[in-house]
Structure 1
């Protein structure tokens, strides 16, 4: 499997703020009055400023990845509910309010790591409002350190998916009470996630009823050939400017073949539209990481931990390392920028397509 950088935007992609600004400039160039104090194509100053304010707010919102934005919004909502309950001033927050909020979260059973994430959302909410944030004082740091010392029940570890898990899943799906379209979608999504070393957010929809055409894989992003497939990923966690990247996978022998699985799934979707999400269920709902996690959980493939969509990504790195793929290829395949992949990597160098064949 190989990924290559893609500098151009795919056809039909939604332009970002930069393109919107260019279009606005071109459209207004011919109508600009040239009168001083009349910016933005001759608009009154107040209207021009309102336009700039709206665009500035869009840029601030676009500065976060959608998943991070949802996480921060949830933390801010939790903080505002807390302040309403105890009749506290939410913004700007003082040190005592932040300390009380931390104690409240500890009493609710949150770990120190989750509390830090919630506080990051509260800080972002303050930034959006233009309010000062003093939530990182020495006392707050000490409180977080104290929260980290409180024992919590260990969460089941996330395990790496293996080729054996994939073969067992194929058998379990065949016996499951599922619509044929749902069964085919789940199987194709699992194999694509595994052999593509994909994050769930890279090829599945964020919710069952909504998707962002700039970020979600659609049918127009997939090209199936007799012996391979090519998938364009429009955006990812490490690509927030929509440069895109390409995943290329070979056809493999046996049932654990992403090319065959996607071809079978495509045959069940004769009404597919190029701009619809690649993975949808029979009732029209989009396939999400949560839905696929449920499929993996219901299959009962492991008793030692949790098998999730991210287990597919970890599993490919683990299996590829065992097959002898080079460290650089594994890093590029999953677009790891840190060193988290290194613990999986050992052995001689092999080509990526050879690694896919060696895994199964």
Structure 2
């Protein structure tokens, strides 16, 4: 049964680290109950080794700046409410320029790292050239008490400016405490909601919905940064990577 479970995860595109994490949970429960741990069997360990050696290349495509703008433009056709148009426009821009994981901008029952309004530091309105500061108080692989901060700089005169659009969104959202990105009814934007909206936009543009996913913002941002001379150490810091895993995000 464990072998079939591992094979199913691999077939569905789960990364080796994700499979190992799920097996760790199964292993923990067996140990807690004082029963034999099937995940440590010779067969399972050899299966994991084979998966690590023959990992399927990540087929997800990067969202480039031109694709980002087209996705944003499509919202006018696909979204009726002004609030939702501004919400997803801001989320698309933020996901790209803050190089976020989907777990950082959306919420689900297992959320641990969702950004809150308090994580945003806005410049005074008079300082038009000042950036928005974003503090990630926790993120994937972060250690307790260790935070990371990045600056999102304005692009004056552009309708795709991440800073001016954040201000526009916040004027509609209000200053209520809680998750940074909220629906018009005050509920947090879920992972499924964000993924569905992106899928609609991608399909509207005639692009492959299986290759452009929420993670494509992060892939595109890393690729764009590398193409514009951002050093490896800077890129690793900006994307909050704990290892050299950032290198697989940089596409030709």
**What is the TM-score normalised by the length of structure 1?**
0.57
Q: Give the 3-state SS of the residue equivalent to 1:306 in structure 2.
A: coil
Task: Decide whether aligned partners of structure 1 residues 178 and 128 sit closer, same or farther in structure 2, where only a CA change above 3 A counts.
Answer: farther
Residue 326 of structure 1: aligned partner: 231
Residue 165 of structure 1: aligned partner: 67
Query: Rg: which structure is higher?
Result: 1
Kindly provide the CA deviation profile for residues 162-187 of structure 1, in whole angstroms up to 9, marking residues without a partner as x. Answer: 00111101210111134222221211
Aligned partners of 2:9, 2:248: CA distance in 1, in Å? Answer: 29
Residue 152 of structure 2: aligned partner: 249
User: Per-residue deviation at 1:224?
Assistant: 2.1
User: Per-residue deviation at 1:343?
Assistant: 5.6
Pick aligned residue for 2:43 from 133, 139, 160: 139
- Tell me, yes or no, if the aligned pair for 2:103 and 2:111 is still in contact at 8 Å: no
Residue 263 of structure 1: aligned partner: 167
Task: Decide whether aligned partners of structure 1 residues 200 and 242 sit closer, same or farther in structure 2, where only a CA change above 3 A counts.
Answer: farther
Pick aligned residue for 1:199 from 82, 90, 101: 101
The answer to whether the aligner puts 1:280 opposite 2:175 as a matched pair is no
The answer to whether the aligner puts 1:126 opposite 2:30 as a matched pair is yes
Task: Decide whether aligned partners of structure 1 residues 115 and 196 sit closer, same or farther in structure 2, where only a CA change above 3 A counts.
Answer: closer
- Tell me, yes or no, if the aligned pair for 1:277 and 1:286 is still in contact at 8 Å: yes
The answer to whether the aligner puts 1:239 opposite 2:137 as a matched pair is no
Residue 306 of structure 1: aligned partner: 211
- Tell me, yes or no, if the aligned pair for 2:2 and 2:38 is still in contact at 8 Å: no
The answer to whether the aligner puts 1:174 opposite 2:76 as a matched pair is yes
User: Per-residue deviation at 1:189?
Assistant: 1.4
User: Per-residue deviation at 1:206?
Assistant: 2.7
Aligned partners of 2:90, 2:2: CA distance in 1, in Å? Answer: 44
Task: Decide whether aligned partners of structure 1 residues 316 and 155 sit closer, same or farther in structure 2, where only a CA change above 3 A counts.
Answer: closer
Residue 111 of structure 1: aligned partner: 10
Q: Give the 3-state SS of the residue equivalent to 1:314 in structure 2.
A: helix
Aligned partners of 1:161, 1:298: CA distance in 2, in Å? Answer: 15
Aligned partners of 1:105, 1:324: CA distance in 2, in Å? Answer: 40
304-313 vs 161-170, which moves further: 304-313
Provide structure 2 residue ranges, at least 5 long, that are not aligned to the other structure: none
Task: Decide whether aligned partners of structure 1 residues 295 and 127 sit closer, same or farther in structure 2, where only a CA change above 3 A counts.
Answer: same
Aligned partners of 1:104, 1:343: CA distance in 2, in Å? Answer: 26
- Tell me, yes or no, if the aligned pair for 1:293 and 1:307 is still in contact at 8 Å: no
Q: Give the 3-state SS of the residue equivalent to 1:268 in structure 2.
A: helix
- Tell me, yes or no, if the aligned pair for 1:102 and 1:115 is still in contact at 8 Å: no
User: Per-residue deviation at 1:143?
Assistant: 5.5
What pairs up with 1:183-222 in 2 under 5 angstroms? 183-207=85-109, 215-222=113-120
- Tell me, yes or no, if the aligned pair for 1:321 and 1:344 is still in contact at 8 Å: no
Aligned partners of 1:155, 1:243: CA distance in 2, in Å? Answer: 32
- Tell me, yes or no, if the aligned pair for 2:148 and 2:240 is still in contact at 8 Å: no
The answer to whether the aligner puts 1:102 opposite 2:3 as a matched pair is yes
- Tell me, yes or no, if the aligned pair for 1:159 and 1:305 is still in contact at 8 Å: no
Aligned partners of 1:294, 1:242: CA distance in 2, in Å? Answer: 34
User: Per-residue deviation at 1:202?
Assistant: 2.4
Provide structure 1 residue ranges, at least 5 long, that are not aligned to the other structure: 1-99, 149-153, 347-360
Kindly provide the CA deviation profile for residues 4-27 of structure 1, in whole angstroms up to 9, marking residues without a partner as x. Answer: xxxxxxxxxxxxxxxxxxxxxxxx
Residue 60 of structure 1: aligned partner: none
Across the two proteins, how many residue pairs are aligned to each other? 234
**What is the TM-score normalised by the length of structure 2?**
0.79
- Tell me, yes or no, if the aligned pair for 1:203 and 1:233 is still in contact at 8 Å: no
134-143 vs 181-190, which moves further: 134-143
